[in-house]
Amino acid sequence: MSTTAKTRIVGASAPRKEGADKLLGRALYVDDIEREGMWYGSTVRSTIPRGLIRSIGFDRRIDWSEFTVVTAADIPGDNRIQLIVADQPCLADGQVNHCDEAILLIAHPDKHKLRDAINAVHIEYETLPPIFTIEESERQEQIVWGKDNLFKSFLLEKGNVDSVWQSATHIVEGEYRTGAQEHLYIENNGIIAEWSAENGVTVWGSLQCPYYVHKTLIKIFDLPDDKVRVIQTETGGAFGGKEDYPSTLASHAALLAMKSGRVVKMIYDRMEDLAATTKRHPSRTRHRTALDKDGKLLAMEIDLATDGGAYATLSSTVLSRATLHAPGPYLCPNVRISAKSWATNNVPYGAFRGFGAPQTIFALERHMDEIASALGIDPLDLRRRNFLHTGDTTATEQLMREPLIMDQLLDRSLKESDYHARRARFARENPTSAVKRGIGIACFYHGSGFTGSGERILNSLAGLDVSPQGKVRVLVSNTEFGQGTNTVLTQIAAEALGIDYDDIAMAAADTGLVPNSGPTVASRTVMVVGRLIERAGLQLLATLREQAGLGDKFTREEFFAACERLRAIKGEVVSLVRYEAPPGIFWDDEKYRGEAYPSYAWSVHMAQVAVDTVTFSAEVEEYWATQEVGRVLNPVLATGQIEGGIAQGIGFALYEKVVMQNGHMANNQMTNYIIPTAEDVPPIHVFFEEIPFKYGGYGAKGIGELPHDGPAPAIVNAIKDATGVSFNSIPLLPEDLFAQLASRDLSKEHATL
Amino acid sequence: MRDSWPTIHFTINGQACAVQAPPLKRLLDVLREDLHLTGTKEGCGEGECGSCSVRMNGELVNSCLVPVLQAEGAVVETVEGLATNGKLHPIQQAFLNCGGAQCGICTPGMLMAAAQLIDRNPHPTMAQIREGLAGNLCRCTGFIRIFESVLAAATQTPEPAPEETPNAR
C-alpha cells in the first residue's frame, strides 16, 4: 500500500511551491493586475436592514454620462446567486433584506470619482420591521424568509433519549453561545471582469472555488458553460470567506464589464469587506445530558440554533456539519440533536474554517467541564470514561473502523504540558496572586471532506498532463490561498511519478484549463484530491510502462523520453481520474444516519490562561495541540496550519467581537475589530500522531479546519479552572469578564491588591 | 491640473526617481501605481495591519499613512529591494525554509519589519521579535513560523564584537 511504503518527497518539508514569488513581492494578487483602459467599479448598498425600495434618484451634481450604472434590470439571466437555494438576488430588486445589500453598481475610469457618485445616489425606502436575533426569528412574529423563517432543520436520533431521563443518576443542562466572527483575510475581496459578445465572460479574482463562480455566472448571464471562464489570482487568505462571496462580486464586476464594454476591476476596501461580506454563524446550543453513577453518558439531547442572516447561502450545510460535530468524540447510546438555522435581517453568514463545528464543539466541551463540576469528578476522567474507541458507533451509528486513539492523544498532551505539575503550581500560587492561572482542555474530532454523500455527488475529476517542454502539470480546480495546496499536491505528484519536485508545476486554477476537482473547502484537498493525484500519477506510470517502454527503474530523462513516445502514439500525455468512494460507505440523508465522513481527524488541545483580576484581561500563556491527522505530508506546512488555526481560535474566544447596530457592523475596521497580534499568540506546541488513512492521498486526512475547533472551549475551560467562574458565551473581552468576575469575591480574597 | 502637481524626488531601492503626483497621494499608491512596485500591499488603509510597511530613511513606516510629499529626498526601501541579483535576502530565505509565508499578502510588509528588526538588533530575543512584529498582522500563520524565520535569519548573522553592539540606541 502506498500509505506504508517508504517515500522520497511526501513526508518531507518541501519548500512552498510559490514561496519565492510571494517573498520577492512578485506574486500577482488581483489588485496588482492592471489592464489597458480598465475601469473601476463600486457598489451602492442599502442603508436599512429591511424595506421596499420606493425610488432611486441620481443627484444632478454628478455627470452620470461619464459613468456606467447597472441595476437588477440589466441582468440578462436569472437575478439569483444560488449556492444551495435560489433566494439571494445578485442585485436587490424592489426589496432589501439586510444592511449593505447591493442595489446598484457604478463604474468609471477614475476610481477616485466613485465615492462621490455613490453618495449622490439617493434611495428612498418604505421600511419593514427587521429582526436580528435567533429568538426573534423563532417567535415568527415577523416572517422575513419563506413561510417560517427557517432555512433548514435537522433531527438526528440514536436510541431513545426519552427512555433515560427517569432513571439517570445525573442530569446536567447548559446553554452556550458563540458570536459572529470575521475571516479577516488580509487581502480583501476583489475581481477583474471582461466581457465580449464573442467570448462571453472572463473573471480573474481572489477566490477559493472557481467552479462555484462559474456556475453562478452561467445563470446570471444565461450563457453556455464554455462562454464563462473563471481564473483564480494569487489569493491573500480566505478561510471560507472566499467560498461563496466571490460569486456575487464576480457577477457584479462582470455586469459592469458587459454594460460599459470595458475591463472592470472591483476591489473592496476593508470597511466594505467587513460590512458587506459573510461571517461565521452566531449560534446557541442547549445541552441536556444524562449520566449514570459512574459518569458514563446515557443520553445527550442537543438543541442547536444558528443565525443564518438574510439569505440561505451555505447555512444548511454549515448546520449539517455543526450537527454532526455536536456530540463530540464520546460514546453515547441515546442521542437526539435538533438543529435549526434561522433567517434574520443580518448580513448573510457563510462558510468559515470549521463550518459550524467550532460552534457546537465550544458548547459540548464547555458542557463537559460543567458536567464534571456537577458530578464532582475530574474533567479529564469524565472524558476518558466516555471516549469513543475503535469498534464503537457514533451518533449517526457510523462504525469506527479505523484506529481511534483519544486516550493516547490525551496522555501525550498531559505529558508534554506537564499538566499535573502545572495545575499543582497554580493551586499553590493563585490564592495569593492577582493573576489567576488555569489549564483547560478540549477533545474533539473534525470530519474530513464533504459530509455524507457529498463527495460522491461532487464526483471530482483531477489529474496530470505532461507538456512537450518536459514539465508535468497538476490539473485541479483546487486553489492555493496559503494553506499549501500547490506544495502538497506537487509533492504527491512527484512521489507518485518518481520524478523531482521541481519537474512538477501547478496548472493555473482556470476553468478553461483544469477539470472540476471540487471546491477547496471542508479540509478535503489533500485527502480527497491528493488521492486523485496519487492515482493519476500511478495510472500514468502504468501507461508509460505498458505503452511507451518505461522501465521499472528510470531516470528523469528516461521518464520524459517515454512521455514523448506516448505522445507520438496518443497525441497527448494526460492522466485523469475520478473520485471513488471508499468501500462500505452508506449515508441516509433523510435520517442522518451512516458514514457521516469518510474519515475523522482527532485532537486534544490544552490552553494555559492567566486571568488578571485587576485589568480583567485573559491571556493565553502557552498552548499544546496534539492530533492524529493521518499521515503528515509536509511537517512545516502542517504545523503552520495548526498554529494558524489556533491563533484564529484564540481570536474567536477572546478578541473578535462583531458589534451590530441596527443590522450594520459598527466596528467594520481593523482599528476596532481586533485579531491576535504577534504579542498575543502564545508559544504553541504541536504534536502529531500519525496513522495513515488508507483512502487519503498518501495516507493523509483533513487538517485545515481541525485546529480552529479547540481553542475556544480549551481557553474558556482554563478561565473556569483559574477563577472558578463558568463563562458560556464567547467572545470574552475584558468587559465581558469584568461583568461576571467583578461581582464575585475574587478581589475580596486578595484585598492586598 | 496634472502638470501642476509637484515633482517629488526620492530614492527607491537604491535608484533615484522623480514622481509627479498630488502631494497628499499616499506613498503606498505612488509605489503601486506610479512606480509599479506592487509588492507592497494594502490591507486596511488605516495603519493597523502593516501590510504596506516599507522603510523610509531607515525607519519602518506604514506607507498608507505617508503622504508622498513626506518622501521628498528620502531613501525608500520596499520588498522588491531585499533580494540582490536574484538571490534571496537571508530573511527571505529563512521565511522560505521555516514556513514564514502562507497566503503571502502580509509577507512583504512582514519581511520589511523583520529586516528592520534584525538590522537594528541582529540577535533579538523572542520578546523583542514579538514586539518588533507587533505592528504587522498575519491571519494565516499564527506568527510562530514567522518567529522561527526571524530566529533562523538572526542566527546566520555573525555575532558582533561586544563593543560594536548596534542595538544600543
Return the domain boundaries, chain A.
Answer: 19-28+460-578, 33-128+189-267, 283-451+592-749
Residue located via cell numbers 530575543: B125
pLDDT at B69 over 60: yes
**Which residue of A lies nearest to B39 if distances are taken between CA atoms?**
A25
Q: How far apart are CA B79 and CA B105, in angstroms?
A: 12
Per CATH, domain B2-81 is 3.10.20.30:
yes
User: For the segment A106-129, what is each residue's pLDDT rounded down to a tens digit?
Assistant: 999 999 999 999 999 999 999 999
Spans of chain A, pLDDT less than 70? 1-5, 745-753
Give the model's pLDDT for residue B86: 84
pLDDT at B165 over 50: no
Q: How far apart are CA B141 and CA B10, in angstroms?
A: 34
Give the model's pLDDT for residue A743: 82
DSSP-assigned states of every residue in A214-238: HHHHHHHHT--GGGEEEEEPB----
Helix runs in A233-313, H state only: 245-260, 270-276
Which CATH number is A19-28+460-578 given? 3.30.365.10
CB contact under 8 A, A186 and B139: yes
CB contact under 8 A, A25 and B146: no
DSSP-assigned states of every residue in A22-81: HHHT---BGGG---TT-EEEEEEE-SSSSEEEEEEEE-TTS-GGGSEEE-GGG-SS---B
- Using CB atoms, pick whichever of B51, B130, B139 lies closest to residue A184: B139
Q: How far apart are CA A258 and CA A636, in angstroms?
A: 45
Q: Which residues of B touch A20 (CB under 8 A)?
A: 88, 96
Q: Can you tell me whether residue A372 is helix, strand or coil?
A: helix
DSSP-assigned states of every residue in A425-439: HHHHHGGG-SEEEEE
* Type of residue numbered A98: H
**Which residue of B lies nearest to A269 if distances are taken between CA atoms?**
B44
Q: How far apart are CA A648 and CA A623, in angstroms?
A: 13
CB contact under 8 A, B104 and A239: no
* H-run or E-run covering B155: helix B144-156
CA distance B89 to chain A (A): 9
pLDDT at B164 over 50: no
Most B CBs within 10 Å, among A22, A271, A479, to test the B interface = A22
CB contact under 8 A, B88 and A24: yes
Q: Does A30 touch chain B (CB under 8 A)?
A: no
* CB < 8 Å from B in window 666-685 of A: 669-671, 675-679, 681, 683-684
* Cα A554-A559-A564 angle, rounded to 5 deg: 145
Q: Which residues of A touch B65 (CB under 8 A)?
A: none
CB contact under 8 A, A237 and B140: yes
pTM of the entire structure? 0.97
Q: Does A275 touch chain B (CB under 8 A)?
A: no
CA distance A216 to chain B (A): 26
Let me know if the fold of A19-28+460-578 is the same as that of A283-451+592-749: yes
**Which residue of B lies nearest to A29 if distances are taken between CA atoms?**
B105
* H-run or E-run covering A715: helix A711-723
Most A CBs within 10 Å, among B105, B125, B133, to test the A interface = B105
* H-run or E-run covering B132: helix B126-132
CA distance B74 to chain A (A): 22
Q: Which residues of A touch B125 (CB under 8 A)?
A: none
Helix (H) and strand (E) counts in chain A: 20, 28
Q: How far apart are CA A286 and CA A277, in angstroms?
A: 28
Q: Which residues of A touch B103 (CB under 8 A)?
A: 185-187, 235-238, 481-482
Q: Which residues of A touch B46 (CB under 8 A)?
A: 270, 669-671
Q: How far apart are CA A110 and CA B48, in angstroms?
A: 27
* H-run or E-run covering A493: helix A485-497
CB contact under 8 A, A23 and B102: no
Q: Can you tell me whether residue A409 is helix, strand or coil?
A: helix
**Which residue of A lies nearest to B142 if distances are taken between CA atoms?**
A644
Q: Which residues contact B92 (CB under 8 A, 6 or more apart)?
A: A23, A24, B82, B83, B111
Closest by alpha carbon to A522, among A351, A690, A645? A351
Q: Which residues of B touch A619 (CB under 8 A)?
A: none
Q: Which residues of B touch A206 (CB under 8 A)?
A: none
On the 0-12 / 13-18 / 19+ scale of CB atoms within 10 A, A696 is buried
Domain with CATH 1.10.150.120 in chain B: 90-164
CB contact under 8 A, A236 and B41: yes
Write down the ipTM of this complex.
0.96
Q: Which residues contact A68 (CB under 8 A, 6 or more apart)?
A: A39, A106, A107, A108, A256, A259, A260, A262
For A76, A132, A308, the CA distances from A98, given in Å and listed in that order, are 24, 10, 12
Phi-psi sector, A146: left (phi>0), alpha (psi -120 to 50), beta: left
For A606, A696, A732, B83, the CA distances from A368, given in Å and listed in that order, are 15, 32, 19, 53
- Using CB atoms, pick whichever of A636, A671, A681 lies closest to residue B142: A681
Residues A319-337 as b/e (b if ≥16 CB within 10 A, e otherwise) read bbbbbbbbbbbbbbbbbbb
Which CATH number is B90-164 given? 1.10.150.120
CB pairs under 8 A between A and B: 166
CB contact under 8 A, B142 and A235: no
* Cα A111-A117-A118 angle, rounded to 5 deg: 95
Give the model's pLDDT for residue A753: 32
CA distance B6 to chain A (A): 19
Angle between helix A711-723 and A419-429 (nearest 10) = 40
Q: Which residues of A touch B95 (CB under 8 A)?
A: 19, 23
Q: Which residues of B touch A483 (CB under 8 A)?
A: 102, 140
Most B CBs within 10 Å, among A13, A21, A23, to test the B interface = A23
Closest by alpha carbon to A606, among A421, A447, A732, A418? A418
pLDDT band at B166 (very low <50, low <70, confident <90, very high): very low
Cα of first residue to Cα of last residue in chain B, in angstroms, is 45
CB contact under 8 A, B43 and A19: no
Give the model's pLDDT for residue B167: 45
Q: Which residues of A touch B43 (CB under 8 A)?
A: 186-188, 270, 670
Please count the other Cβ atoms lying within 10 Å of the Cβ belonging to residue A507: 17
Per CATH, domain A283-451+592-749 is 3.30.365.10:
yes
DSSP-assigned states of every residue in A630-680: B--S-HHHHHHHHHHHHHHHHHHHHT----EETTEETT-STTTS----TTT
CA distance B78 to chain A (A): 9
**A23 and B92 in contact (C-beta within 8 Å)?**
yes
Please count the other Cβ atoms lying within 10 Å of the Cβ belonging to residue A550: 22
CA distance B169 to chain A (A): 23
Q: Which residues of B touch A187 (CB under 8 A)?
A: 41, 43, 103, 105
**A94 and A52 in contact (C-beta within 8 Å)?**
yes
Q: How far apart are CA B141 and CA B99, in angstroms?
A: 8
> Strand pairing of A334-343 and A150-158?
antiparallel
- Using CB atoms, pick whichever of A237, A636, A648 lies closest to residue B99: A636
Cα–chain center distance at A602: 17
CB contact under 8 A, A25 and B133: no
CATH topology of domain A33-128+189-267: Aldehyde Oxidoreductase; domain 3 (3.90.1170)
**Which residue of A lies nearest to B98 if distances are taken between CA atoms?**
A636
Q: Does A185 touch chain B (CB under 8 A)?
A: yes
